[in-house]
Amino acid sequence: MQKRSETNPMKLDHILDKIYPLPLPSKQLLLQNITEVNYPKGHILLSADKVEHSIFFIKKGIARVYTRTLDHEITILFCKEGDTLVSMKSYVLNQKGYEDVALLEDSELYELKTEKLQKLFAKDISIANWARRFAEKELIKTEERFIARQFRTAKERYQEILRDHPDLIQRVQLSYIASYLGITQVSLSRIRADRS
């Protein structure tokens, strides 16, 4: 594992605004329902085998979203400061999700219980619109990941990581990055060697 790079904590205001800007009274109402939580490296934050009842926003730390097959785990994506962690199937349908989420570092998170959020929908149309935009953006991210997996090579996707999220290479085990790219660690080593 490479040396971990220093990261700056992400402010909750910035995370919420990135999803959809809220009028100040609505934002204050939403903030009153969000709590800060801390979990250690290795903690399983969300599980595929149960209905999840929280949305998490990463203040500081990194997480791996993955799914399990009979004989191994497949990494779907990595989330870091400013990103959202949610089981969309639990959020939308109140059913068990598809993915597990494990923290790869000691992490500071903001937690919003979905039950509290749903109660706010009836009180504040701006919060309801914020949640609609949140769900729409999560859908687009899923679509983009699917297209990338189908139409870009592992080398192209690795180059995207280097360009868009170079800190991941310092913070995430190479075996997880290889799994994310859908290749073996040996193949990833070859791709990395080609760049030198």
Which amino acid belongs to residue 186?
A: V
Q: pLDDT tens, 86-125?
A: 999 999 999 999 999 999 999 999 999 999 999 999 999 9
Q: Which pLDDT value is given to residue 1? A: 41
Mapping DSSP to helix (H, G, I), strand (E, B) and coil, where does residue 84 land?
A: strand
Q: Which pLDDT value is given to residue 171? A: 94
Residue of 56 and 193 predicted with greater confidence? 56
Average per-residue pLDDT for the chain: 91
Helical segments of the chain, H only? 12-19, 24-31, 88-93, 114-123, 125-151, 154-164, 167-171, 174-181, 185-195
Give the position of tokens 């009180």: 123
What mean pLDDT is predicted for residues 58-77? Answer: 93
Whole-model pTM? 0.90
